[in-house]
Amino acid sequence: MSFVYSEQDIAGACEGLARQVAIEVVRETGSTNADLMARLHALRGPVLLIAEKQTAGRGRAGRTWHMEPGKTLTFSLAWKFALPLAQLPGLSLVAGVSLAETLAAWGIDARLKWPNDVLKDGGKLAGILIEAAPEKDNPSHAAWAVIGIGLNLDASPALQAQIGAPIAAADSLPENRSFDRNRIVAALLNSLAKALVQFEDEGLSPFIERWNCLHAYAGKPVAILDHGNVLHRGRALGIDHAGRFLLDTDEGQVAVMSGDVSLRLAEHA
């Protein structure tokens, strides 16, 4: 069986900063994020690892990322920042903006759900998992981040049943666009590379307005849950300068820090 993805085709479609990234394709692995995290001490530059199949993919807070071979695009990007680990919060928001804007350029109406999901027509289209570690030889001034992305290409009934929640797929493009998976991976990498360099140079501020313009729940009644318990209810406003999620509640404005909390539309909480 031939590979769906091609290292040469992906690299050939990369531009600018993305050309410095080493591209690796494997047929099957447990988790591309776990693989790259285990290799950080040996990496000399950025690496994108894409798997045809992941058997132990993970989402935020250790949740299982469900996938079907050929119907889900899953990859991880290891990137070294000239920043300490403490300055990397907000990176999932940056990655979300990059992902949604790239999909929009391909004719896919992607929207962002805080802190790390991409939606289409209310269903989950993609998820982002960020893991990070200080650079071994210079921990106070540098850190590695591994950015894992899972993108649904086909919202099959079997995958929907596995996840148990509404999902969406990037399975329809305008007639003049070819659904070439290698070119989609390259487009995502081109965008991510530019965004990560901008984040390193300027922080989160250039991405706040862009995130808020893509906010899936802007102005809608939502709830913040912690392990199923409702912590806050209010009207969704967006994110602030620190990447906190802002709610307009009966008690006033509340800023929620990212953590093991969930955001839901109020009607589903």
Two tokens, residue 43: 């990496």
Selection from 194, 191, 183, 177 nearest residue 13 by Cα:
183
Q: Which of 58, 60, 111, 120 is catalytic?
A: 60
Alpha-carbon span 195 to 98, nearest angstrom: 7
Q: Which of 71, 80, 183, 264 is catalytic?
A: 264
Two tokens, residue 241: 């300068």
Cα three-residue angle 228-147-237, rounded to 5 degrees: 50
Report yes or no: 151 and 68 within 8 Å, Cβ to Cβ.
no
Alpha-carbon span 155 to 124, nearest angstrom: 10
124 labelled catalytic: yes
Tally the residues of the chain: 269
60 labelled catalytic: yes
DSSP string, 103-133: HHHTT---EEETTTEEEETTEEEEEEEEEEE
Preceding omega of 221 cis (within 30 degrees of 0)? no
Alpha-carbon separation of residue 101 from 195, 204, 268 (angstroms): 11, 16, 27
Q: Which of 113, 120, 124, 244 is catalytic?
A: 124
**Strand order across the beta sheet in which 143-152 lies:** 22-29, 47-54, 72-81, 143-152, 123-134, 117-120, 111-113
**Residues marked as catalytic:** 60, 124, 264
